[in-house]
Amino acid sequence: MGLRPHRSLASSTNRAKPPVGAARLELSLELEFPYSLDILGPPEDRLMPSLETITETLDAFFKIRQLERDPAFSRFVPYVYNPIGFDWQAFFEPDFVTRFNGLMIRGAPEVSSVYCVAFPHEDILKVFLDRGTPGDLLFTHHPIDMRCGDPRGKWAEGFRAIDPSLLAQIKSRQLSVYSCHAPLDYNREISTSLSMAKALGGLVKGEFFPYGNGFAGVICSVPSISASDFAEKLKQIFGVPYLDHEGQLPESISKIALVAGGGDSVAEMQSAENAGTQAYLTGEIHSHIDTDTGRKKYAEMKSYAARTKMALWGVSHAASEFLVMQQDMAPWFKTRFSVKAHALPEAIWWR
């Protein structure tokens, strides 16, 4: 599917009018949160919100119930848990096991702290267990871990089950887990790709990469910048020691395609190139997952990279999806509710 003009979203009666640029991104947040913590009163004077309130607010904001099943994790949650004999359908919340988004584990009824993460890596879960008190919430993009490989190192296994012993500890400690995957990729107020656009000072012109009930990718204009300076900027923004690069290095870049996570789709790259972009930025520009499908996608991508005129950059799957947690979701929780909110980065992004 080709580029969709961003302004077309305004015609939908079911969606809020989307941001159309950096200034509009800021305005959108101000309109969504027209109050400050001072107006609500000092934190010590406010009651802790209930898990029910937070869950209902998240469900409504991300329109969780409008997506029948997550396009990825409706396949991959059973894929990782069934072979190890873990009864995930009995362990996780009833609505989660049909939609694969929303409240996954229900803890104590009052929430004091929220921890925002991209993947529930075992090291992240150990931090959550160490710091969390009954009722605290883990807000995660993926409901299971993912090992995506290292472009300068080893290939990896892909999706990975959370150790059932860690899940049991989370439940016994009365902690909660909420996963928001596809709806966080295509929401037009806060999303993984919009966070990337905002960090890069981009003006959103259109959208691409159909996913779930929307589009996961955005097309942006940015102030003209050299390819080398743009690459350095990416390393700083995403906190990665190096980038995965294929394709060309244009003399200047002023129009870019952004899609967080696994953007290694040749068809969508071609769509972005047809729209006149000089650079394509994603988490993974090609697969380093050691499976037949991963190797096939890698070969397709290498063939396309040899003929494209764009620069193709990857910043790692997890790092590309952590930015929204750090930049948008943690502040969203702090502003919306009387809670402490923390974004927990991974120690190693390329893994």
Q: Which stretch of 42-51, 126-135, 237-246 has the lowest confidence by average pLDDT?
A: 42-51
> Is it the case that residue 263 has pLDDT exceeding 60?
yes
pLDDT tens by residue, 10-44: 333 333 333 333 333 332 322 222 223 333 334 44
| Domains of the chain as residue ranges with CATH | 33-184+321-343 (3.40.1390.30), 186-319 (3.40.1390.30)
pLDDT of 23 reads 30
pLDDT tens by residue, 141-182: 999 999 999 999 999 999 999 999 999 999 999 999 999 999
pLDDT of 29 reads 28
CB 273 within 8 A of CB 308: yes
Distances (CA, A) of 268 to 32, 37, 150, 198: 31, 41, 23, 21
Calpha distance 158→14 (Å, rounded) = 35
CB 333 within 8 A of CB 116: yes
Q: Which whole number is the average pLDDT over 287-296? A: 93
pLDDT of 11 reads 31
State the SS3 of the chain: CCCEEHHHHHHCCCCCCCCCCHHHHHHHHHHHCCCCHHHHCCHHHCCCCEHHHHHHHHHHHCCHHHCCCCCCHHHHHHHHHHHHCCCHHHHCCCCHHHHCCEEEECCCCECCEEEEECCCCHHHHHHHHHHCCCCCEEEECCCCEEECCCCCCCCECEEECCCHHHHHHHHHCCCEEEECCHHHHHCCCCCHHHHHHHHCCCEEEEEEEEECCEEEEEEEEEEEECHHHHHHHHHHHHCCCCCEEEECCCCCEEEEEEEEEECCCHHHHHHHHHCCCCEEEEEECCCCECCHHHHHHHHHHHHHHCCCCCEEEECCHHHHHHHHHHHHHHHHHHHHCCCEEEECCCCCCCC
Calpha distance 276→166 (Å, rounded) = 47
pLDDT tens by residue, 183-219: 999 999 999 999 999 999 999 999 999 999 999 999 9
pLDDT tens by residue, 111-150: 999 999 999 999 999 999 999 999 999 999 999 999 999 9
Mean pLDDT of the chain: 89
Q: Which whole number is the average pLDDT over 240-264? A: 97
pLDDT tens by residue, 66-122: 999 999 999 999 999 999 999 999 999 999 999 999 999 999 999 999 999 999 999
Calpha distance 202→136 (Å, rounded) = 35
